[in-house]
Amino acid sequence: MSIELINISKTYVTLGRRRNVFRNFNLSIPPGLNLGVIGPNGSGKSTLLGILAGGIYPDTGKVLRRMSVSWPIGYGGGVASNLTGVVNCRFLARLYGRDPDKIVDFVTDFTELGEYMTWPVKTYSSGMRSRLNFALSMAIDFDCTLVDEGMGAGDQFFRTKAEALIEQRRKRSSFVMVTHNLIEVVNHCDQVLVLGGPEPELSDDVEGRVRQYIDEMTSRAAEPKTTQAAITKAEPQL
Amino acid sequence: MSAAATVTYAPPSPLVFQYRVLKALVLRDMAARHGSTRLGYLMGILMPIITLSSMIMMFGLRGKMVPADFSLGVFVVTGYPLWQGFQQMYSKVMNVAARQDPLLMFPQITQLDLILSVVILEVATYTVVFILLCIGVTIVFRADPPADPLGVLFCYWGCLWLGSALGMILCALQRAAPMVVQVINTFLRFGMWVSGVVFAINRLPSWLWPYLRWNPILHLVEGSRSLWNPAFQAPIFDPLYVLAIGFILTTLGFVLERITRKLVGS
């Protein structure tokens, strides 16, 4: 049981420019691993999650999924806004071969949406919608859970409840977490994958690698080159 | 490392898996399209009937186009719904590409599943509507029931099949060469006038027939008329030709879908 990425390559072409996000990249996610994925914007974090989830196809290479993989937590793509919360729950339950009634009960109970569950999702507030997305993501027990950025949804009370559930889930399944919250990575992850450098870097020393990453980012931000160039360019216009 | 997962992953057999995905998609589509209002499902059936009634009125005013041995209602019901079914199928299947469906983020759902779910739902809906229409015109126009009802139904399904296959090709082309799709769409707009919908083909001079023989929809329209009313001799009806075209289009559709599949996820 694992997920294996074997020699994955992925390139995006934007405005005629090619950008290699991954080149012959290999990764193995065994059961129970908590992996944090960090890197600057545009380094390929969400692409990696998309490849793991199956929504993005790599240009070359193989993805072997030998365990069940979630869609990114909180992702609302599967929720149709003109359908009710209940119908959306039933759809995902059928898709994953689960008992629809149990999924509906779990989501209704966890989100505390009550009779709103029978209303079309387009009538929900954004907080209610993110509660529904979150609960739907957690309603099915996956062997590997994917998390993209902020998983906190709704008010403080709901967020506490959500975090407790995530903590529970973390203990019994693999977690791949894409985030800018480095404290969360240090606290929860067994390994960290750093993207954005010449090659993706996987490290077991999470705290050490995160510290190094902070130093790299700080020195990059303080680099006079880019700042000075921008100032020189702007000066004549002032 | 935290505790290892205890869940054992046993993927279902491919057939069960496919059935599960298609069932979920079809039921979701059905709820999305017809389930949002109380009269949604009824309207899904009523709308084509209203459209057909207006067609019958139009043909009633231009009665000369209907062959002498045909009731007006039977002539219309064996023509227009077939063309409309073909047209609806290809446009609905083609539009799957334009939807950029977020459902594709789910690993078990491919573009082909979205296409198949649309096909299943539409074929089921249109078949019910077509059968109701056939029963309706038989009662209202006091016409003879079809001599070969199953044959007529097969002609109708043939049009839906050709529409779905063409839709799959256009769906793939939509991604790779949208301009080509626009050209084909423009061409298809004139299709109704060369498919025997507004007039039976034997109303045209016989020297024109060979130029229209390429059109498989014309074969099916003429075929459905001769199968409903054996007194009507269809000069252009070759089921083998229709089958061959159907298989070629379907194969091409599957191949192109496979080739362009990667473009969907990028």
Tens-place pLDDT, residues B4-41: 333 344 566 778 888 989 999 999 888 888 776 767 77
What contacts B180, CB < 8 A, 6 or more positions away? B173
Q: CA B20 to CA B41: how far, in whole Å?
A: 23
Q: Taking CB atoms and an 8 Å limit, are A57 and B23 in contact across chains?
A: no
First to last CA, chain A: 61
H-state helical runs in chain A: 45-53, 85-95, 100-111, 126-139, 156-172, 182-188, 206-222, 224-234
- Three-state DSSP string of chain B: CCCCCCCCCCCCCHHHHHHHHHHHHHHHHHHHHHCCCCCHHHHHHHHHHHHHHHHHHHHHHCHHHCCCCCCHHHHHHCCHHHHHHHHHHHHHHHHHHHCCCHHHHCCCCCHHHHHHHHHHHHHHHHHHHHHHHHHHHHHHCCCCCCCCHHHHHHHHHHHHHHHHHHHHHHHHHHHHCHHHHHHHHHHHHCHHHHCCCCCCHHHCCHHHHHHHCCCHHHHHHHHHHHHHCCCCCCCCCCHHHHHHHHHHHHHHHHHHHHHHHHHHCC
Output phi, psi for B101, to 5 deg. -60, 125
Task: State the amino acid at position A157 in one-letter form.
Answer: F
Q: How many CB pairs under 8 A join A and B?
A: 105
For residue range B64-99, what is the model confidence (pLDDT) as tens digits? 567 777 788 888 889 889 998 999 899 889 888 666
Query: Around B164, how many Cα atoms within 13 Å sit in the side-chain half-sphere?
Result: 23
Calculate how close chain A gets to B68, using CA atoms only, in Å. Answer: 49
Interface ipTM: 0.74
Q: Taking CB atoms and an 8 Å limit, are B106 and A67 in contact across chains?
A: no
Pick the more confident residue, B81 or A197: B81
Q: Which two tokens stand for residue B195?
A: 């498919």
- Which pLDDT band, with edges at 50, 70 and 90, does A20 fall under? confident
Q: CA A238 to CA B45: how far, in whole Å?
A: 68
A184 touching chain B per CB within 8 A: no
Q: Which of A33, A66, A83 is closest, CB to CB, to B1?
A: A33
* The overall pTM is greater than 0.90: no
A217 touching chain B per CB within 8 A: no
Calculate how close chain A gets to B89, using CA atoms only, in Å. Answer: 23
Mode of pairing for the β-strands spanning A60-65 and A174-178? unpaired
Q: Give me the pLDDT at residue A226, please.
A: 56
For residue range A144-189, what is the model confidence (pLDDT) as tens digits? 888 887 555 567 778 888 888 888 888 888 889 888 888 888 888 8
First to last CA, chain B: 33
Q: What percent of chain B has pLDDT over 90?
A: 32
For residue range B157-212, what is the model confidence (pLDDT) as tens digits? 999 999 999 999 988 888 777 788 888 888 888 888 888 887 777 778 888 888 88
Pair B241, B216: CB distance under 8 Å: yes
Would you tell me which residues 10-49 of chain B have a C-beta closer than 8 angstroms to some C-beta of chain A? 12, 16, 20-21, 23-24, 27-28, 31-32, 35-36
